[in-house]
Copies of this chain bind each other. A is one copy, B any other.
Amino acid sequence: MAANGKAESPMYDYACDAVAEAPQKGVLNPPPRLLCGPGPGNAHPRVLSAMSLPEIGHLDPAFLSMMEDIKEMLRYVWQTNNAFTVPVSGTGSAAMEACVANLVEKGDKMLVGCNGYFGPRLIDMGDRYGAECIEMKKPWGEVFSYDEIKAALEEHKPKILGMVHAETSTGACQPLEGIGELCHEHDCLLIADCVTSISGVPCHLDKWGVDAAYAGTQKCLSCPPGVSPLTFSQRAMDKLMARPDKVKNWYLDMKMVASYLVGSGGGARSYHHTAPISMCYGIREALSICCEEGLEARWKRHREVAEFFWVELEKIGLECHVSKDYRLPSLTTVKVPEGVDSKKLTKLLLEKYQMEIGNGLGDLAGKVWRIGLMGYNSRFDVAMTVVAALKDGLEQQGKLKMKV
């Protein structure tokens, strides 16, 4: 500081006293993993290539026009005509929190289907935004019937129902047909977690009457995490726009994001935050790939590969945790056989075969492995390779029991 007590310009202080040495970390050289866990899966090479294109500014007309393309393709992939269908500038949990932060008002009753890890996460978020949360419970790996949901709505009369369409922790797929209609009879909004279903499992948001859905890119879209799909129905937008208070989250305030991404009345777009430009290139390419393949073909591919995988698992004596009626094709939970050390096997796969599969989480810790065949990785060669590695893993623990 100068003698007069006025701080000098910091532009002239070059002395690196606190940390004198610059660390030298060499070349980044990630191992060549085959990612068959609960996500991320391997990104499509075209997506990685798109992400390395030179940047443009987030207010550039070319960027805003690309955003329109993203929004249009996202509507197709989710089968919705919702005007507000956008990529959120964070990973899947950010889009999840965007639903809660924007749609929950203090004191709102929020009913949540809890049959895995991600229902309770919705409750945790709901708590933070002042909701009165109610758990609707089922064992991990099961799903709720239409009648169970109907009864719970009648009993609790919530403002919001949160359901996990595709439970990444259990591999169960929650049927949602007719649920939106039920909710709307009770003046309730339906939020759906589509993180592990988007583009890999039929998602009919408009047909099902879903009011808010969020997803991740790193599962069936085969784009690295960093941006996440979100959509609000007009009903959801109406609740948001009628709020008398500010949303209690600045970054995820969708009133403000809407004025940037959608423009106020088709007019000027106001700056909110800097969008993750390269990630937007990534999701743009990932969605293009879905549109080229076509949704129906893509959904069928996921199912065919999954059914092949399930048959192959059976041949080496492994069983699935979830009933086939509700089993996700994108993510399979495989029971750890009696006497097998589950973590020892996943470690072997990672270290010997460069292959990542997931361990069980929460109630299923130690009981299942979680194996994702998603998007780019939903292929017969990948399924076959995973089975071969599992076979070796079981053999090394002396637990391989082939079925003939």
Contact = CB atoms under 8 A, between A and B. Distances in A.
Nearest to A293: B22
Interface string A285-300: 1001011101110011
Tally of this chain's copies: 2
A203 to B, nearest CB: 8
Contacts of A281: 28, 30
A110 interface: no
Interface stretch (A75-83, A234-242, A312-320, A386-394): A75-83
A155 interface: no
A35 B91 CA distance: 26
A79 B16 contact: yes
A28, A72, A125 pick with most chain B CB within 10 angstroms: A28
B19 A76 contact: yes
A25 B12 CA distance: 50
A91 B178 contact: no
A273 B91 contact: yes
Nearest to A21: B76
Contacts of A16: 76, 79, 295-296
Interface band, chain A: 35 or more
Given A32-B54, A76-B19, A176-B7, A25 B128 contact: no
A212 to B, nearest CB: 16
B92 A273 contact: yes
Contacts of A264: none
Contacts of A14: 202, 296, 299-300
A175 B7 contact: yes
